[in-house]
Structures are given as structure tokens and as C-alpha cells.
Structure 1
């Protein structure tokens, strides 16, 4: 085999090379031989990963001074990571979404789930919003931009460089329009029968969360003629899907006034503003106030932010999920449905379910689990990387 033209990183003898050979896309820095030469490898540079016997494992992106020392891009040691390589990855991701959805509204690239570590791209019709959260992507931004527009046929490309992940890679925080014209207001997004308003320039993340689509559909199927409460609603999430399916009323709760305003615009666009109300404030306080008022609902959903984003925050996060479950369960009418969600990487399904059941039990309710949901197929899960399967949704009959 021809000697590589890029640096070599080697695993220590005690490192588990099989873990990576069997599919895990990361090599921890602690598992690498960090001598003078390897420590000098520039962050974001391509490098060949070898096992302790100097047998090649694959090519990846080196970040030896970080916790993750190398992210594997290709298992072939002679792979060429160039424009054609990027084209193949983006084309495969696009083909999957085109087969799944009849309208161009979806997550187009889901980082390691699509073999492109650090890259998130969401599509809103003719507008793409890209989050390049790693150095290696920043260095290939021109090729990425051109290929995304060429392959999708989109006309506008926005770079959202405001994530915390970019700060960890010492990349600048910036919001840029790389192609086309930035929208002068929120974009209408049809999904699950509803219309959502996405603020792609000033909203959370890329402006809308596509991951809950299948869970929206489950709630919609149970919402005909129902009174619905959607806590941590963001821009209308479950509430608008329920109204589209014939809910008699939907109350949306969120701490963000701008997000609730967008939710109201979505309800207006759907022609159901008369059945939609909002309450702005701390979700815990609002649920306590509703309980004090004696309010009950046929369907209650709580989709909070990540309470356990890391292992260090796990115990505190699980207690928060338990509290959400207790408060939300007390608002469900007899025979009604409660859906509880978690987007925390550190809280796996077993731990999250246990917290939910403790909270429901503390509310004095008797649950039956009727549904376990995850993110939609436009968020493919890397089988060896649990972080790509972060979303969990549990629905109970109480």
C-alpha cells in the first residue's frame, strides 16, 4: 500500500481497536499514543488511524487536544476526502430524504448519522440552513455550499454559526447568507397537517425542530375532539398538529414570547386561531397554576429542553424529568393521554422511562405505556453512537 501523505495516529496497545473496527466513529485521545509528532498534528487535519500493530483502521479528522482525538470519516485507508467524496455523502443523504418525504421540508444532514461529523443541515423548501460545527467543515465551506445547492436545487443557503459546539473548536460565532436572499420573515413549513412558522435567522437552532414529526403524528391521531395542553411548545409543536387533527382547543405554554408569537402565526395560517391560546411563563409554575385552577386536559404533552445534556448533569436532570411528569400527570383527565419527551443525550431510554414512571406515580395516577417514539428517519441513528439517537418520547394512558 502506498504510504499516506498525511500524519498517522496510533492506538495504544491497551486501547480497544475492535470497538472502532466494528463501527464506532470516534477514537478517544486517551487511547492514542500522544508523542511529540502526534501532538503536533493540526486540529482539523486529516490523519490515518492505526492500531497498536500499525494496521490501518481508517481516515479521520484529528483533534488530539480534545476529548475525542479522531473522528473517523472513511474506513478505507486509501480514501480520498475531496469534493467527490463530499458529493457522494450529500447525494446519499438527499436521496434518502427525497424517498421519505413528498415535500422538501426535513433535516437533510444529521452529522455522524449521515457520515459527516459536525454538520447539520435543515431544509425549508428552497432555503437551507447549515450548521458547520467543526474545523474540517469550515475549511471545506466553499465545496460544501456549492454541493448542497447543486444537489438539492435550493436557492438560498444560510450559515448558522452560533452553536456551542463551534466555540469548542475555537470557530467564530456568525450568521451569514452564503447564497440567495435571506427571508425577511418566518418561513411557512407544512408538517403533519399543520403549518409551522420557522424563524431561520433568529429562532432556536435552525428555526424549527423536525425531529418530533412522528411523535406529532401520534398525538394528532389521539386529538380529534380533545382538549390539548402542550408544555414547552416552542413554535407550536404538538399543539398545532393536534389542532390540524380536530382538537377542540389547544393551550401552548412556553417561556419564550417570540416562540409563542410564531406559534400564534401558525395557528392563524391554519385558520384555527379561535381554538388556540398561549400562556407565557416558566413551565413548572404554569403547570402548578393550572392544577390550582382545577384545569384538566384530554391530551397533555411536555417536551422540555435537555435537562441532562451531560453525565455530570444526569442526576439533576432525571429529577427534573420526574417533576415534569408529576405536574403534567396531574393535569390529564381520567382516561386521557400523557406524552413525555427527552432530548438529553445522557438520559437513556431506561433511565428516562423510570423517571417518568416515578413522577406519574407521585401524582397518584396509574399509567399504561401505549407508545415509545424517537426522532424521524431524517435523523438517522449511527448504531455505535447513542448521541445520534438522543430523542425519546413516551405516551401513557392514565
Structure 2
């Protein structure tokens, strides 16, 4: 993508809110401006995607420096509220230093989400760290264009030697960006062992999903470990071993991982081997719903069942269908839980808020075990870890929900 001309804030083009647009929201921290909130003319439509622009209210008062993309419904993303700010390597370095200080407060080892997009002041940018390697997801046009100063600042501040750009996923499509994955610095030599909650996960940075591993479930893995000692555990939609490996690290007698991806299950097996837990670990490849049905037919039961599916409701149009899918998961999983056992149900869907997700799970559990004379106690609600901060003005940054139930008579 060609770098738009931008040498200083004074040289930046100007875009303006409509008179009825909510300028107060921007002043109070809202990070996005939609196309229907702006005065759109031939000039603004011709601004190159990724250009840094000045955002003004209807009275021509400066509001923020923003990154513009006329091809996206999110026309502008707030970068800085200082009219004199330079969006350069030093600017990136300041953002990284602030983010790094928080993560180093939280974690002893350098394995975490370093940048969580808008919440860390870099809209559309996700960076996960794996020791001396970082994986960058530039999911907005401005970050694609400024990837070079971003990477230089990242290396300088954190000391990482290898940087991978993972330019894949739905978000880039919405920005009109091409999908590409490449090594921008250093080299990736095989899988990276990632320690988390006493377990070992194997991250495939070049061929795995998104950045190669999901850090967001770390606190929910930790809570699950309190339930599993000496227990038989089922982990559905397991990916690379998620809750299963955490359960083995927490003292589970056995764990079964279910996933549709043979590659993900192979990584889970390697993680179990690295932990010395292969004898207690098993996998089952297949569609999760089909496997849940088969386990029921086989008369299987477990002390702890945890289901962590992909986003069934990634957008508002998909919400109702997604909620039905979450209800179906709960309905099929609940009967597999032994009396007095535990059921964990998770959602990473932006569109399904906590109330809607909890309602779907409650209905599903009722349908699944009500006729057996059982009911459920909701014992814990979990969210993403503190390395995935929530931006109060942006509900979408708080996407992950985890509900833990106890199944009782």
C-alpha cells in the first residue's frame, strides 16, 4: 500500500462532523467515527486509505488526529487528541512503553498480549508476544502503511528480535486490505513453547489461527484448574489444548480434547508431551456437535466439561443464529456432566453481550438436564485477562465471556 503524503499535522487534510453528530462522544473518549457522522464530499471520498487527518466538529473546532479509510464504515479512528502530535516512530515507542509497563507488572515471563488495539491507543492493531518474537496484526489501513516505524519502535522498546506480520482475518477484509503473512524481522524456527498457568502450549506462529495462540482465556483456564484435581475433563472446541492442558497442569486425572482441526490437535498432543502428560491426554477429531452427540450415545460422562467455541455471533446480523448455537452447545454438553460436576461455557462473540449469552446458556442447560431432574448453579463469570484491557467507550473490546455452572439435582 502506498504511503499517503503526510509530513506534519499542519499538512494533514481535514474532515468534519455533521452538525447533529455527537462531538461530545469523541471528546469523552469514543475512538471511532462512522461514515454517516461525517460531511462526505468528493474531496473526503478521495482521501487515500490510511491517511492521517484532522477531525473537527461542525463549528470547525479541532477534536483529534485520526486515521481515515473511506472504504470502511469506520471512516476515522482516533489516534491522538494533541493537534501537534507526530505519528512517527517516537509516537509508537511511547505507546509500546506504556503497554509494556502494564504487562511486566502482570507477568514474569514475556508471553502475553502486548497491544490490544483501541484500549492500548493503537486502533485496529493487535500484538501478541512470544518471548523474543512478536506477532503483529495490522487490522486497519493506517497501521498497514506505517508498519515500518511501528516495527522499529516495537523492537527498540521490547527487545524482540523477530517480528511476524499476520495480515489475515475478517477485520482486514472490512478495511479493504489484502491477506498476507510475512516475517518482517528475524526468523521463525518451528513451534514456540508457551508457558501459561503451569501448562505448556505449542504456538505455530506461521500456520496457526490468528497470532498462533490465544492468551485471552488465561484467567479462565486458571479458574478451571480449581475444579479439576483428580477429575475427568472434556474440552470441546479445544483448539491447541486450551482448557485440557490447563486441567492437566491443575491435577486432572485425564483430559479429552475435541476439535475439528487435526493440526490443532497435533499441537495439543505436543503440548501434553512437553508437560509429560501424554498418558493422561487424548484427542478426538470431529465436528463438535457430532462428537457431543456421539459421547452421549456412548454413555460417556465427565466431572468437568468446558466448551469454548469460535464466535457464533461475530456481527449483529448473525446474533440470533449465534445465540441458538450457544444454546445448542449448552443443551448437548450439560447432560455429559456428572451430578455435582461443572460445566464451562464460553463466547468470544462481540455481538452477543453477557446478558444474551447467559440467557442462551441458561435455556440450553434447562433443556439439556431439566428432564433429568437436575438444575444448575452459576458459580463464576470470567472475562479476558488484564493484558486484554477493556476500553470503556468501546463495548467491542470486552468480547470474551466465560460462565461456569455446577450441575446439581
Corresponding residue for 1:103? 109
> What is the distance in 2 between the residues matched to 1:142 and 1:56?
28
Corresponding residue for 1:227? 232
**Shift in Å at residue 160 of structure 1?**
1.3
Q: Is 1:208–2:208 an aligned residue pair?
A: no
> What is the distance in 1 between the residues matched to 2:9 and 2:321?
50
Summarize the alignment of residues 369-384 of structure 1 with structure 2, pairs less than 5 Å apart.
369-384=378-393
Corresponding residue for 2:81? 75
**Shift in Å at residue 146 of structure 1?**
1.3
**Shift in Å at residue 201 of structure 1?**
0.7
**Shift in Å at residue 80 of structure 1?**
2.1
Aligned residue for 2:375, secondary structure, equals: coil
> What is the distance in 2 between the residues matched to 1:123 and 1:47?
30
> Contact 2:30 / 2:394 at 8 angstroms: preserved in 1?
yes
Aligned residue for 2:384, secondary structure, equals: coil
Over the residues paired in the alignment, what is the CA RMSD in angstroms? 1.3
Q: 1:136 aligns with which of 142, 156, 159?
A: 142
> What is the distance in 2 between the residues matched to 1:30 and 1:65?
13
Q: 1:286 aligns with which of 273, 285, 291?
A: 291
Summarize the alignment of residues 207-286 of structure 1 with structure 2, pairs less than 5 Å apart.
207-286=212-291
Q: Is 1:366–2:375 an aligned residue pair?
A: yes
Q: Is 1:393–2:402 an aligned residue pair?
A: yes
**Shift in Å at residue 20 of structure 1?**
1.6
**Shift in Å at residue 3 of structure 1?**
8.7
> What is the distance in 2 between the residues matched to 1:3 and 1:380?
29
> What is the distance in 1 between the residues matched to 2:354 and 2:205?
30
**Shift in Å at residue 52 of structure 1?**
1.2
Q: Which moved more, 1:76-85 or 1:147-156?
A: 76-85
> Contact 2:134 / 2:164 at 8 angstroms: preserved in 1?
yes
Q: Which moved more, 1:172-181 or 1:83-92?
A: 172-181
Aligned residue for 2:119, secondary structure, equals: helix
**Structure 2: any 5+ residue segments left out of the alignment?**
1-7
Corresponding residue for 1:306? 311
Q: Which moved more, 1:40-49 or 1:107-116?
A: 40-49
Q: Is 1:166–2:172 an aligned residue pair?
A: yes
> Contact 2:344 / 2:404 at 8 angstroms: preserved in 1?
yes
> What is the distance in 2 between the residues matched to 1:77 and 1:146?
24
Normalising by structure 2, what TM-score? Answer: 0.94
Aligned residue for 1:4, secondary structure, equals: helix
> What is the distance in 1 between the residues matched to 2:243 and 2:215?
12
> What is the distance in 1 between the residues matched to 2:403 and 2:281?
24
**Shift in Å at residue 176 of structure 1?**
1.4
> What is the distance in 2 between the residues matched to 1:68 and 1:161?
19
Q: Is 1:31–2:37 an aligned residue pair?
A: yes
Q: Which moved more, 1:169-178 or 1:310-319?
A: 169-178
> Contact 1:29 / 1:65 at 8 angstroms: preserved in 2?
no
**Shift in Å at residue 169 of structure 1?**
3.0
Q: 1:349 aligns with which of 342, 350, 354?
A: 354
1:126-170 deviation line (CA, Å, top 9, x unaligned): 111111122211221111111111111111111112223223333
**Structure 1: any 5+ residue segments left out of the alignment?**
none
> Contact 2:68 / 2:142 at 8 angstroms: preserved in 1?
no
Corresponding residue for 2:123? 117
Normalising by structure 1, what TM-score? Answer: 0.97
1:96-143 deviation line (CA, Å, top 9, x unaligned): 111110001111111111110111111111111111122211221111
Runs of 4+ in 1 over 4 A off after TM superposition: none
> Contact 2:235 / 2:306 at 8 angstroms: preserved in 1?
yes
> Contact 2:71 / 2:176 at 8 angstroms: preserved in 1?
no
1:313-345 deviation line (CA, Å, top 9, x unaligned): 000000000000011111111011111000000
Q: Which moved more, 1:374-383 or 1:127-136?
A: 127-136
> What is the distance in 2 between the residues matched to 1:222 and 1:279?
23
> What is the distance in 2 between the residues matched to 1:138 and 1:289?
45
Q: Which moved more, 1:346-355 or 1:159-168?
A: 159-168
**Shift in Å at residue 388 of structure 1?**
0.9
> What is the distance in 2 between the residues matched to 1:387 and 1:268?
37
What is the number of residues matched between the two proteins?
Answer: 396
